Structure 1
Amino acid sequence: MSSLLSKLFDALKISTPDSIRQRPIKLVRPKKQPNPQFYGYAISHEWLVRFAEQHCPEKLRDRNSEGYKTHAMVRGYIHLVYFTGINNLDTIACFNLMEGASVPSEWIPVSNGDYDDVLSDEEILAFQIQTVHVLTVCSDEEECFKDRPIQEQMDYLTELVGHGPRWWMGCKSSY
């Protein structure tokens, strides 16, 4: 009898608060699109520079030096990775559409640079492709989706950025 009880206890998987916190965020993948989709936060270059100036000013060059903005953006990004512990954090250019809206079919070849056969020069100049820089934590592609961060990391990143994440469609068909 005791060996049966022992086997049952061995088979029982106990969830502790620590093991629950280590699970990736619950997230539903969006419907497949022609380009990869990314889950993350819309940010501007200026936001990233300000973040660096607030959180790691000692690591920045002189504000008047050449390349200051690029250097500050890189430092801000590195600091975000360090602060949040999200190692697969990335920045990607994405189409700037309302959530759930579809990308106009003409935008995809133009964003990929494959528009010679699709549009005339006048048509290309006639419309603007609105994009946004997105601080991404995962994509809808299998390997990246499996490596999404834990809820605690997402909560902290949301607090730092000041608004919540959402799904965005990337501008390029392959990354």
Structure 2
Amino acid sequence: MSASELLRQSMQNLRVAETKSTLPSLVPFKFTSPPRKFKLSYPALQHYKQNFGFWLSDQWLIELGKHTHLPEDRFDPPLDEDFWMRGVAYICETVGLEGLTVEHCFQPKTNGAPPQFLDADGEVLVLSVCDDVEDDIPSQQQVDYLTNLLGRPPQWWVNIYPRNDWE
């Protein structure tokens, strides 16, 4: 085998090794049947906004973002913050929900995130699919997709920031 063939083979092996990850494989979401609105019972309005979604970790988003490569990365290597943003954008694009946000929320007394996923203030990062005043809620299929992807059901979380419009 020539040197160029060996180099090509090693580069292919390297690419395969790079793609092996503990992250779930994100396959773009496609509706297999007409979308059904997610049936959601809203909690009572509080002084703090409430988000419906899934806890996750900064590190998971960073690792997810590292699978997105841009041409300019060769000249300007991305920081963890860039990978974090790419991870969020990738989920939004994959699931087809433009309204997804990442929020800081209080840890509930029960059924919250495991302690190792809380920040120094005891707060948890939440991938929010909607909040308690939004009319635009995801479809049942999109919520099911995220539930399968993240391995846990969504729930209501109380945001750390008070409402701006609270009277």
Higher alpha-carbon Rg: 1
Do the aligned residues in 2 keep the contact of 1:42 with 1:133 (CA within 8 Å)? yes
Q: CA deviation at 1:98?
A: 2.8
Identity of aligned residues (%): 28
For residues 78 and 138 of structure 1, what CA distance do their matches in structure 2 show? 16
Q: CA deviation at 1:99?
A: 4.6
Q: How does 1:17-166 map to 2 (within 5 A)?
A: 18=33, 21-54=34-67, 56=68, 58-59=69-70, 61=73, 65=77, 68-99=79-110, 129-141=121-133, 144=134, 146-166=135-155
Q: Number of aligned pairs? A: 124
CA RMSD of aligned residues (A): 2.6
For residues 125 and 54 of structure 2, what CA distance do their matches in structure 1 show? 8
Letter in 2 for 1:159: N
Do the aligned residues in 1 keep the contact of 2:92 with 2:100 (CA within 8 Å)? yes
TM-score (norm 2): 0.65
For residues 153 and 59 of structure 1, what CA distance do their matches in structure 2 show? 27
Task: Give SS of 2:48's match.
Answer: coil
Do the aligned residues in 1 keep the contact of 2:47 with 2:163 (CA within 8 Å)? no
Bigger RCO of structures 1 and 2 (CA < 8 A, at least 6 apart): 1
Q: CA deviation at 1:129?
A: 4.4
More helix as a share of residues: 1
Structure 1 unaligned regions, length at least 5: 1-16, 102-127
Letter in 2 for 1:155: D
More strand as a share of residues: 2
Task: Give SS of 1:172's match.
Answer: strand
Do the aligned residues in 2 keep the contact of 1:24 with 1:147 (CA within 8 Å)? no
